[in-house]
């Protein structure tokens, strides 16, 4: 009986405390200015991220996260950048156009790479354990440029928890047009694959060009949007 009485009093105390929580929250916001929240467009970008962890039994061979810098991603980046730097509408529109011009020449990715310590050789090194190539439907292409970079705060935010100080970020570019001036990605293209190769192992990250970014709402607490672990 005594236990029931104590439980009753505890529940009353808890209800009283919870009833006053909103007042404490309002007081905290009034004292500690929170600023104005700005739409970060993170979810519409994260669905263009693909991730893969490659293992040899229990040994990690590599962790790769790739963001395809298509038009939608570049526009979202420009919007966040403009809000951060207070660009006027005119300057914002010029900045967007410069971003979109990049895609007329290159198919680009930001790739986060984590390798075992004994294999932490830059991807630009000819003896690096891994290499990359791009497959568009059945055609394969090699990078024209791989550059280690310091990722901007806007793109760090887009990558979310995938980004950390233990991963190296690379800007990887492929030609957007062939030798005849035809775009490699056109209305007839179906799949885009970024392939990671090493001796005896491959891992692929795939984007379905017809539906690369699914319209369904995404859970903001999920780490990967979506993760493709297509390893063979």
User: Which range among 67-81, 119-133, 159-173 shows the weakest confidence by mean pLDDT?
Assistant: 119-133
CB 47 within 8 A of CB 214: yes
- What does the alpha-carbon distance between residue 171 and residue 178 come to, in Å, rounded to a whole number? 20
Instruction: Tell me which residue of 42, 63, 57 sits closest to 227, measured CA to CA.
Output: 63
Q: Which residue has tokens 């795939």?
A: 206
Q: Is the pLDDT higher at 13 or at 208?
A: 208
- What does the alpha-carbon distance between residue 42 and residue 38 come to, in Å, rounded to a whole number? 11
Confidence of residue 114 (pLDDT cuts 50, 70, 90): very high
Instruction: Tell me which residue of 152, 208, 156, 164 sits closest to 46, measured CA to CA.
Output: 156
Q: Each residue of 126-168: pLDDT tens digit?
A: 788 899 999 999 899 999 999 999 999 999 999 999 999 889 9
| pLDDT higher than threshold 80 for residue 111 | yes
Q: Each residue of 29-57: pLDDT tens digit?
A: 554 544 445 456 677 888 899 999 998 88
Backbone angles phi, psi at 69, to 5 degrees: -90, 65
């Amino acid at each position: 009986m005594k236990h029931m009485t104590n439980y009753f009093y505890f529940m009353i105390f808890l209800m009283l405390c919870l009833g006053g929580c909103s007042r404490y929250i309002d007081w905290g916001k009034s004292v500690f200015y929170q600023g104005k929240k700005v739409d970060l467009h993170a979810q519409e970008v994260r669905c263009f991220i693909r991730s893969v962890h490659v293992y040899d039994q229990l040994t990690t061979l590599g962790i790769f996260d790739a963001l395809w810098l298509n038009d939608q991603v570049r526009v979202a980046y420009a919007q966040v950048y403009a809000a951060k730097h207070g660009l006027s509408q005119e300057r914002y529109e010029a900045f967007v156009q410069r971003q979109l011009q990049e895609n007329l020449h290159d198919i680009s990715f930001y790739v986060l790479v984590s390798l075992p310590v004994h294999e932490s050789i830059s991807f630009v090194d000819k003896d690096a354990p891994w290499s990359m190539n791009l497959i568009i439907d059945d055609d394969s292409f090699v990078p024209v440029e791989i550059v280690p970079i310091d990722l901007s705060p806007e793109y760090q935010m887009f990558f979310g928890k995938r980004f950390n100080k233990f991963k190296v970020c690379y800007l990887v570019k492929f030609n957007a047009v062939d030798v005849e001036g035809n775009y490699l990605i056109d209305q007839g293209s179906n799949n885009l694959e970024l392939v990671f190769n090493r001796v005896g192992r491959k891992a692929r990250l795939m984007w379905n060009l017809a539906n690369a970014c699914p319209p369904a709402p995404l859970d903001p607490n999920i780490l990967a949007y979506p993760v493709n672990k297509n390893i063979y």
